[in-house]
């Protein structure tokens, strides 16, 4: 099969660097490296921020996906395009945009600062905002796709039986799109976990407050490469596990 | 030398072979000679080395200076791994240590120094007047991460002063630190004096007294045996070169 060679080259190109992480890790002292303060703090912060991110993404993204899937308005297509911009935007550009909006002299941030004395950059909240900015589109696109493939007659039947839009959505549509929600959640969570550019631009880098796992890897690489490899391994294993578990259950 | 023959071969393809072989006498210049001099320099030298290159090209017709700016540690790594280079200029003498012996072609010259300065937004919202204000409650201080020279210098400044101020963010290089101040997100940042000068009106500098300041010496050396390399080092050491450095906020060693 002549197609096998390029196909396997593709696989090797992706898998080899992942394997290299395992080969180059200092396994004899792996527990010491994993116990390095930078590793634990960064992982804890990543766990917290990506969890909050997912709650917001579910709360905001699910209704948004539903509206996009059900709207016939001509502007919907534009709305969908705008929502997906962060998918292709370089993350650092997202960070600059967030800074211009929510920074201390930003369009909204200036007002927040003057009125309430709230400043967002350099805070954990800024990390969560950066993660939501890059992760929400992944979720909305995945969930909208599965919602659009739903047969509208189910909505209509529910409506004739007297269910309002919220009830229709929660008891008819939602259960049927759970696979789409699971898939979208996995993608969005993985994207939030890996977020680097927008975070470092908008939230800065301080251990325990804004230094998430990817920033921790970058930081450790300069001073303690083995800690960076250990942290990378943890992120790799967790990502593979989440995608793998979802694949067998929800993604096909 | 192989690293000089590569650009030479490229030129030969587009021009004539003669252009390359006559390139062995750069001092004479001459309209037909096409030569490239590759300079790798620390990021903090970006603007001032641009001026050096212009002067050098004006004095050496047919020579084009190609420059690449990066972190000093990256430059040394690149040269050790065989990147084509004729001259390197680094921030901090210690950056030079990992440079392999075979690349130490020319003599090392300390050509300038750079010291730390506090950078504040033009309106100085936190009213910073000196190092002693860094420990005030509620100010947002941004410094370089300790892995980069400006961060190491900031850490020794704190140590010498016996202070441990609250830090909002550890930025990855001196330019990122300055940007946070320029945007008004930080009340004060610790950067090099030359960065404050270069930023012009966008930030204001607050001096750190000489007796507590941390001074970084910048080394320059030829890493190829091209006569042009030595000539460029001399250009940097010349009165004209030193004037550019002084104008940019550097201090003669």
DSSP for chain A, please give it.
-TTHHHHHHHHHHHHHHHHHHHHHS-GGGHHHHHTSHHHHHHHHHHHHHHHHHHHHHHHHHHHHHHHHHH---TTHHHHHHHHTHHHHS-HHHHHHHHHHHHSTTSTTHHHHHHHH----TTSHHHHHHHHHHHHHHHHHHHHHHHHHTS-HHHHHHHHHTT--HHHHIIIIIHHHTHHHHHHHHHHHHHHHHH--HHHHHHT---TTTT--HHHHHHHHHHH-HHHHHHHHHHHHHHHHHHHHHHHHHT--
Q: How does pLDDT run across A17-63, given as a tens digit for each residue?
A: 999 988 988 898 888 888 888 899 999 999 999 999 999 999 999 99
pLDDT band of A249, cuts 50, 70, 90: low
Q: What is the mean pLDDT of each run of 10 residues along chain B (253 residues)?
A: 42 39 44 80 90 95 92 85 92 88 93 95 94 92 88 92 94 89 94 92 93 90 94 96 94 88
Superfamily name and number for B35-112+217-247: Periplasmic binding protein-like II (3.40.190.10)
Nearest CA distance, A170 vs chain B (angstrom):
43
pLDDT at B17: 38
Does the fold of domain B114-215 match that of domain B35-112+217-247?
yes
Residue in A81, A73, A71 with CA at minimum distance from that of residue A152: A71
Compare CB distances from B170 to A99, A119, A206 and report the shortest one's residue: A206
Compare CB distances from A204 to B148, B169, B184 and report the shortest one's residue: B169
pLDDT at B33: 58
pLDDT at A13 over 60: yes
B168 touches chain A (CB under 8 A): yes
Compare CB distances from A210 to B140, B146, B169 and report the shortest one's residue: B169
pLDDT at A150: 85
Domain boundaries, chain B: 35-112+217-247, 114-215
pLDDT band of A174, cuts 50, 70, 90: confident
Nearest CA distance, A209 vs chain B (angstrom):
9
d(CA B194, CA B141): 19
A220 touches chain B (CB under 8 A): no
pLDDT band of A8, cuts 50, 70, 90: very high
Half-sphere exposure of A95 (CA within 13 A, CB side): 18
Q: Phi and psi at residue B147, in whole multiples of 5°?
A: -75, -20
Rg (CA), chain A: 21
Using the structure block, give the residue that is written with the tokens 């979720």: A139
Contact B183 A219 (CB under 8 A): no
B70 touches chain A (CB under 8 A): no
The mean predicted confidence, pLDDT, of chain A is 90
For chain A, the residue count is 252
Q: How does pLDDT run across A65-90, given as a tens digit for each residue?
A: 988 988 888 888 898 999 999 999 99
Burial of B248 (0-12, 13-18, 19+ CB in 10 A): buried
Q: Judging by DSSP bridges, how do beta strands B87-89 and B35-42 pair with one another?
A: parallel
| Architecture of the domain whose range is B114-215 | 3-Layer(aba) Sandwich (3.40)
Provide the β-strand partners of residue B69: B41
Give me the sign of the Cα torsion angle A51, A57, A60, A66.
negative
Contact A122 B171 (CB under 8 A): no
Cα separations in angstroms, A46 against A83, A98, A193? 24, 19, 6
Given a contact cutoff of 8 angstroms between Cβ atoms, the answer to whether B32 and B61 are in contact is: no
């Amino acid at each position: 099969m002549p197609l096998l060679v390029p196909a396997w080259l593709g696989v090797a190109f992706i898998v080899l660097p992942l394997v290299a992480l395992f080969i180059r890790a200092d396994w004899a002292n792996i527990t010491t490296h994993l116990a390095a303060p930078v590793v634990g703090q960064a992982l804890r912060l990543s766990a917290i921020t990506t969890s909050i991110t997912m709650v917001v993404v579910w709360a905001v993204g699910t209704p948004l996906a539903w509206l996009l899937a059900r709207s016939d308005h001509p502007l919907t297509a534009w709305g969908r395009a705008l929502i997906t911009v962060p998918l292709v935007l370089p993350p650092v550009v997202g960070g600059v945009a967030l800074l211009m909006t929510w920074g201390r002299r930003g369009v909204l941030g200036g007002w927040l600062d003057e009125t309430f004395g709230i400043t967002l950059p350099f805070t954990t909240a800024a990390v969560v905002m950066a993660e939501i900015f890059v992760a929400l589109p992944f979720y909305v696109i995945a969930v909208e796709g599965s919602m659009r493939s739903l047969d509208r007659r189910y909505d209509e039947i529910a409506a004739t039986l007297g269910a309002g839009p919220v009830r229709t959505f929660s008891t008819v549509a939602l259960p049927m799109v759970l696979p789409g929600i699971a898939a979208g959640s996995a993608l969005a969570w993985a994207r939030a976990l890996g977020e680097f550019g927008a975070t470092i631009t908008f939230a800065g880098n301080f251990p325990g407050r804004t230094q998430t796992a990817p920033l921790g890897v970058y930081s450790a690489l300069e001073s303690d490469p083995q800690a960076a490899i250990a942290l990378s391994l943890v992120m790799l294993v967790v990502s593979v596990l989440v995608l793998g578990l979802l694949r067998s259950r929800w993604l096909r | 030398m192989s690293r000089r023959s590569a650009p030479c071969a490229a030129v030969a393809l587009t021009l004539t072979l003669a252009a390359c072989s006559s390139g062995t006498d750069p001092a004479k210049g001459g309209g037909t000679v096409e030569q490239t001099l590759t300079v790798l320099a620390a990021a903090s030298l970006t603007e001032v080395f641009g001026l050096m290159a212009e002067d050098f090209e004006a004095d050496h017709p047919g020579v084009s200076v190609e420059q690449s700016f990066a972190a000093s540690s990256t430059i040394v790594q690149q040269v050790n791994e065989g990147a084509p280079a004729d001259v390197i200029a680094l921030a901090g003498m210690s950056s030079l240590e990992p440079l392999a012996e075979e690349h130490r072609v020319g003599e090392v010259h300390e050509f300038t120094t750079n010291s730390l300065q506090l950078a504040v937004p033009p309106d100085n919202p936190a009213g910073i007047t000196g190092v002693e204000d860094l420990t005030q409650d509620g100010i947002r201080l941004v410094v370089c991460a300790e892995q980069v020279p400006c961060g190491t210098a900031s850490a020794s400044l704190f140590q010498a002063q016996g202070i441990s101020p609250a830090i909002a963010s550890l930025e990855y290089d001196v330019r990122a630190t300055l940007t946070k101040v320029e945007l008004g997100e930080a009340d004060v940042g610790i950067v090099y004096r030359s960065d404050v000068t270069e930023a012009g009106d966008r930030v204001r500098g607050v001096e750190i007294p000489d007796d507590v300041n941390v001074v970084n010496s910048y080394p320059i050396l030829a890493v190829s045996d091209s006569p042009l390399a030595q000539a460029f080092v001399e250009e940097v050491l010349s009165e004209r070169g030193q004037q550019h450095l002084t104008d940019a906020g550097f201090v003669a060693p």
